[in-house]
Amino acid sequence: MDNFNSYYDHTIRDLLSIFPSDHLDKEGQPFWSGPKRCPGPVTFDISNETHLDFVVSYANLIATAMNLPENRDRAAVAELAKSAQVKQYVPKKITVRTPEEEKNNAPVAEEAPEDEDVIKSLLTELDELIKSVKKDDFSPAEFEKDDDSNFHIDFINAAANLRATNYKITNCTKQKTKMIAGKIIPAIATTTAMITGCVTAEIYKFVQGYTELESVKNGFINLALPLFLFSEPTEVTKIKSVDYDPISLCGVKSIPEGYTIFDKTVVDIGSITLQ
């Protein structure tokens, strides 16, 4: 129940407290426009089948992982959910400051904990839990989309539809969710795995000090043929001053001379504007 509220209700409220539905950007345009859909919180309703699907599938997946008895009785789970004690929503104090406010050192309210602090707290908690649990107490779940009794697709379908509801996107059926999941798994096991392997091989070279251009490789792979091509990359283009540039239709001065797209200039003098 707390996880449901955290994923689909409380975090959305926190987001809307920073950027309300009528929020305007610095140019006076609606912040929530175009591809940015304004979300809305989903309040838990035990009479909503999707909400109950999430609780039933989530609870049973956790129970299976911890070798606890499953409970497939939806009515019994619904009764337990009704009597569950859940945490009430507490607004987070999150402050977003503009560059001008930072320049003027404007005072801000106490902010929510930083991610690093949260991670440290969780690691400390895990260190304490390690003393009281054993590895054999847990069982990993191997994803299987074609087994309708393992709650895998049930959970994915409920979780995805709830997030879609947050952003007013049309929900999909369990069968369509299964079809999409069936397409994703082969892609991860083939193309994604191959690219990850190629990139990791280049990282091994880099950390061992092989930084010469001829030591690294570009890869072109087509698993359908199959075709594997590797080539040496060309040197990065250096931007130089020219009397006439055909794109900008004028002379171009390079500062510094011969910089590349991988170079950067750090201006560390605080908040500045064009004025």
* 3-class DSSP assignment, residue 52: helix
- Kindly calculate the radius of gyration of the chain based on its CA atoms and give it in whole angstroms: 27
In a domain, 76, yes or no: yes
Q: How far apart are CA 92 and CA 200, in angstroms?
A: 39
What angle, 0 to 180 degrees and rounded to 10, lies between the N-to-C axes of helices 152-166 and 49-65? Answer: 140
pLDDT of residue 197: 92
In a domain, 146, yes or no: yes
Contact (Cβ atoms closer than 8 angstroms) between residue 145 and residue 137: no
Rounded average pLDDT per 10-residue block, the chain, 275 residues? 93 92 88 92 94 96 93 93 88 64 54 77 89 85 90 96 95 93 82 91 94 91 89 91 91 91 87 80
* CB within 8 Å of 200: residues ≥ 6 apart: none
Give me the domain span that covers residue 189.
184-231
- pTM attached to this predicted model: 0.64
Contact (Cβ atoms closer than 8 angstroms) between residue 141 and residue 63: no
In a domain, 178, yes or no: no
Same domain, 7 and 114: yes
pLDDT of residue 190: 85
Give which of 179, 163, 182 is closest to 171, Cα–Cα.
Answer: 163
* CB within 8 Å of 37: residues ≥ 6 apart: 167, 168, 169
- Give the CATH number, domain containing residue 11: 1.10.10.2660
